[in-house]
Structure 1
Amino acid sequence: MKKKDLDIDFENSIGPWLGRTGKLVDYFFQESFNANGLDLTKEQMIVLKKLTYQDGLNQNELAFLTLRDKSSLARLLSKMEKKNYIFREQSKEDKRIKNVFLTNYGKEIYEKTKPVIQNLISTIEQNITPEEKQQIIQIFKQIQTNFNSKIEHI
């Protein structure tokens, strides 16, 4: 008995459109940072943003909040330390834990990203109504929920 070939309409599924859009957003983030003289990646900007609102997070908390594994976060933080955006301090309560803090320079760099990010948001949302924006956000949340339910069963 011959297996029936599955005809998959990949181009009209959500996956490739999400992927392409994500890559475009990443590309324009990086290009915008470079054009504005910011020696920064999108991932580094996310860490600066998290620390702006919760300075002194430990590395485990930061890994969770930024959806990164501990080793890739450690590499990212090392690069950020070399750029003087952050510093790490050993926890007084538990010597195994390192807390991450923004330097004054890191705070300054994050402030410089705000107009760049606002410009990117304006570009992304151009010609999209507030209702469409809310629909898109709801759809993305549903996709994340779909994946989270799969992760729980793995």
Structure 2
Amino acid sequence: MVDYHLHEAIKEAGLDLTKEQMVVLKKLHDEDGLNQNELAYLTYRDKSSLARLLSKMEKKKFIVRKPSASDKRVNQVFVTSYGKEIFESAKPFVGKLIKRMEHAISETEKQQIISILKKVQTNLS
């Protein structure tokens, strides 16, 4: 349900962006220059599906991959200025959706949900 509403929010913004691409842009916004293995781990994706996603993002000029200076077999991923612009354009729409989802949910209830979801995540790891 959240995926659907997120997709609709991004579409409302008129952006050519998927939820998966938004997640990658968020991770690179937090720490630009991650290598593909780190990015796969942080986004809970297998390496091959992440490589396909990154290829699509490169075609859209959201990101650029460059060989690591220390190990040419490893690609580092950097967000482009256009990718930053797209990410910043999407943030208000995503924020609006989050506010809508959190309506009438207390801070205590939010913390309980987070705690329970972390336990589920740990159980599945």
Alignment TM-score, normalising by the size of structure 1: 0.79
**1:1-154 equivalent positions in 2, closer than 5 A:** 24-148=1-125
1:139 CA drift (Å): 1.1
Report how many aligned residue pairs link the two structures.
125
1:133 CA drift (Å): 1.0
Distance 2:45 2:109 in 1: 30
Deviating beyond 4 angstroms after TM superposition, the runs of 4 or more aligned structure 1 residues are none
Structure 2 counterpart SS, 1:128: coil
Distance 1:53 1:145 in 2: 23
Flag the structure with larger Rg: 1
User: Which protein has greater RCO, CA pairs closer than 8 Å, 6+ apart?
Assistant: 2
1:146 CA drift (Å): 1.9
Consecutive unaligned residues in structure 2, runs of 5 or more: none
Identical positions, percent: 62
Alignment TM-score, normalising by the size of structure 2: 0.96
1:116 CA drift (Å): 0.9
Please, what is the CA RMSD of the aligned residues?
Answer: 0.8
Distance 1:136 1:54 in 2: 27
Structure 1 counterpart SS, 2:65: strand
1:42 CA drift (Å): 0.8
